[in-house]
Structure 1
Amino acid sequence: MTPFFQHLPAFQSIFLTLLFIIPQVFISGRKVLATDCPSGTKPVAFNRGKLPFKTANGVSKIKTICAPTSSIGDTVFRDDNGNGIQDNHEPGVPHINITLTLPDGSTQTTTTDSHGKYSFSDLSPGTYQVRSDVPHGKVLTTRTNPFQINLESGQNLEHADFGFRPNTSTGGSSIGDTVFSDRNGNGVQDGGEPGIPNVVLTLTLPGTDGILGNGDDTTRTTTTNNNGIYNFNNLPDGNYRVTVNPPVNFPQITTGSPRIDVNLQTSQSLTNVDFGFRRSLGGSIGDFVFNDKNNDSLSNSGDIGLPNVQLTLKNANGQIVATTTTNSNGNYSFTGLPLGNYTVEVTQPNNFSPTTKTILSANLTEAEPDDNNVDFGFAAGNASSNGVSLQLVKRITAVLKTNGQRIQYNAFIDDPNDQNDNSIGITPLGQYELLKPLVSGDEIEYTIYFRAGQSLENLNVCDLIPAGTAYVNNSISVTGNGVDGNQGRFFSPLTSLEQVPESGVCENRNNPNGTVIVKLGNISSGQSGSVSFRVKIN
């Protein structure tokens, strides 16, 4: 074989730069061996030098330049709540094909493991593309597929994640997907930019002529869920228009027009019809007053908003900052607020009783300038069957035997002589009577459960120590007391209750065995709690 360097000047006077990716090359018919690279690196170039460098066996060697290898991963997951983040309860999805396109255009394919993990390793620096197959019946929630990645030397990129949620379409095609708070105003939902709940969207469907904008058009409406996601499903193919009703106090739309026209194909799930909004400057507090149909104190999908409900915002000094009323969807918002501590008080609507506290606090900080989770629930009807403003239920919740045994009563036992003990709104655990005899020295724990049907001020609770027992020192425990409340006091039989201002609530002020008095203070409508103390059998 004729060497291809034969027409060059003498080798000894030529300096060459040789770049190789493969470990072995042939030069002038002589084999050149690349020096092995350490683990975790790979050869990327050979250094500059004179040729040939002959050794005793006639084989030339060139020093190899090694660089750390890189990798790309990491998870395909089931995004049940559709928020684009893998939460603790959301598992990985196995057996999903992931395709990597290399800088030279070639591809590699791998499959997620039983935990939804995948990885491409031993990669050189360069620009890559990572694409996930879409599982059957699912739609993407993480917004990027494929990822475009500029990989650096030694970089282990572990955030190329793909989230999928079930396609809620029950047939045909569907249109969605998110209305979000675009805090930086770039028109894209970035990490840390939440969806906006309870936003109304309207879908305009063409009439029989198939043309939008004519008099035969029809409409459908839906509302975003707690994560700002919406969906119109069971649609035939054709032209549609999606219009968003701007959320309360989000005056600036950042994604263009509040109206988007789309052409839907057969069996297509269109999940990129998004709307971004930017709120007013300053902090904000909101956002929902709702009809709590199942009385669980939570805003569920079937709960509708209550319109025209008044709310009052106060600062840390108790001064009124602003008032507002809910809109037709039950939403409200206070905006343009300086950072700091606030309270929001809701005015109870007529013919409704609260299922949540009617006074809630919010703390606006630099890291979290918005608190849009200050929600209030109300159920239709009075607070209780007899219309009282305060409900009280007393139970025996524990017995401490002289041998050290503690018997805890953690179940609700209905008292047949009390028609209201199961309607207090909180579960009054414990026994209403004891059938087993007690002996001297045994202790009984009493618990008084309370719930306010309206806002109450300077509320006190009084309970007499039963005959044949003695109060156990330092045994009072209070939960749920309000502003200006205390942790309770015991007044011995030697104390004249006439001298105790709070004793006006006591039915018997003779104080024969001692009395426990607890100042609950100012409590809001719907607020609940308990007072516990122990007595010892004489």
Structure 2
Amino acid sequence: QFSAGITAVWLIGNNDNLIFPVLKLEAFQRGSGTVSKIGWRAALEYTARADAPAVVLTVRIDSASIVTPGGIASVPQNDDTCANMVGGVVFRDDNNNGVQDRGEPGIPDLLVTLGNNKTYTARHGVFVFTGLKTGIYDLELPERSLPIEYASADGPWTALLGENTRYWYEIPLTLWGTLSGYVYIDMNNNNIFDAGDQPLPGVHILLNGTATGVYTDAQGYYYIEDLSAGSYLLSLDDDTLPEGVTPLADTEGEGTAGSGLIINAEITEAFPDLSECDFAF
């Protein structure tokens, strides 16, 4: 059953002249085991008091549900043989604080094991194990099942299940990306590193204006790895450039600074490896 309604109430304060309305919008759905519905009740209440207006939002989910930033996972209400539960969410930890914050998405279709049990994360990265007997279980996210661009610094986790025990785990993954490219003299001025161009070895690459310790090799190639998702500014250490080398006119909207180009690069889940961050002179 699903219902919704609006209630309007006029309240009178201690001062008889202080009269204000309270508007309440409420909706609920009764849980149903036969059709696997989740019972919930939500209410939005607005107090239109001139000296202290207030808005209050309350949400109640039945005891058989888990609320996560990405969605709701339903846990059946069964007898004692199914009372124990281990659940959680696997998410992309963009700020590396170990907690799923707003905007950090759950990661679907990842293998999660609990002892001899296994499951896969759902659309919002949520996983749930139910029907667990008492005992000690190791919760793991097998590294072999992770996409190559992700890494987990934690685990396995130990869950000690007694009677009616429920555990919830937040499992952070770090998205690792790479930046790479060539530093060269563009002999035919086409902004493409091709045959006949002169590579510049030994050039120091700067990341957000900071030394990386990464230098171009004999082919003018550099490679920076273990970068988390985010925006980066690539530039060159002027002191390591050959004397007299100056950049070409900017044709890619990358801008220039001093005697070297600045490349704006953004590592995302869709594009974790950016391999054409070239500097042409």
Q: Which protein, 1 or 2, shows the higher relative CO under an 8 Å CA cutoff with sep ≥ 6? A: 2
By the TM > 0.5 criterion, same fold? Answer: no
Bin of the TM-score, shorter chain as denominator length: 0.3 to 0.5
TM-score, L = length of structure 2: 0.44
Bigger Rg, which one: 1
TM-score, L = length of structure 1: 0.26
Larger proportion of strand: 2
